Amino acid sequence: MLGIAGVEGNGQAELVEAIMGLRPAESGRVLLSGRDLTGMHTRPRRAAGIGFIPEDRTRQGLLLEAALWENRILGHQTEPPNVSGIWIDRAGARRDCGRSSRSTTSAPRASRSRRPRCPGATSRNSSSAGR
């Protein structure tokens, strides 16, 4: 894991964008485990293992007006169950959104929470699915 810190305005955001492939690197190379990712687009970089946690999730990490299921598939819109051919499978994405997730607590299996990953997936925001 690599973290980049510094005073705002000194190039950290630009460096992160170059590492992620969001902007071309002006110089240098992006290496991961000896593999040169410099010429690759964002998707293969993510598949290689590079992740990005935005400093401002409301500016870079979320679609504020979108439904929860739409936000959940961001970056995974080309993977099942979110895709059918070349199209987003909205029903599949919504269905997957309601699946239970395992709790990270050390509680016994039988008593683990079975809450949906995307509560409200069928709430008022689901009307935005027709957009």
* Region for residue 109 given its phi and psi (left: phi exceeds 0; alpha: psi -120 to 50; beta: otherwise): alpha
Q: Tens of pLDDT along 95-120?
A: 877 654 433 333 334 434 444 456 54
Q: Tens of pLDDT along 40-67?
A: 999 899 999 998 888 788 888 888 999 9
Question: Of all residues in the chain, what percent carry a pLDDT higher than 70?
Answer: 74
Q: Tens of pLDDT along 1-18?
A: 777 778 888 888 889 899
pLDDT on residue 91: 92
Q: For the residues of the chain, what is the DSSP string, one character each?
A: -------TTSSHHHHHHHHHTSS--SSS--EETTEE-TT--HHHHHHHT-----S-IIIII--TTS-HHHHHTTT-TTSTTSEETTEE-HHHHHHHHTSB---SS---GGGS---BSSTTTTSGGGGGGG-
What is the Cα–Cα distance from 69 to 125, expressed in whole angstroms? 9
Q: What is the mean pLDDT of the chain?
A: 77
What is the Cα–Cα distance from 65 to 23, expressed in whole angstroms? 26
Q: Which residue has the tokens 């293992």?
A: 49
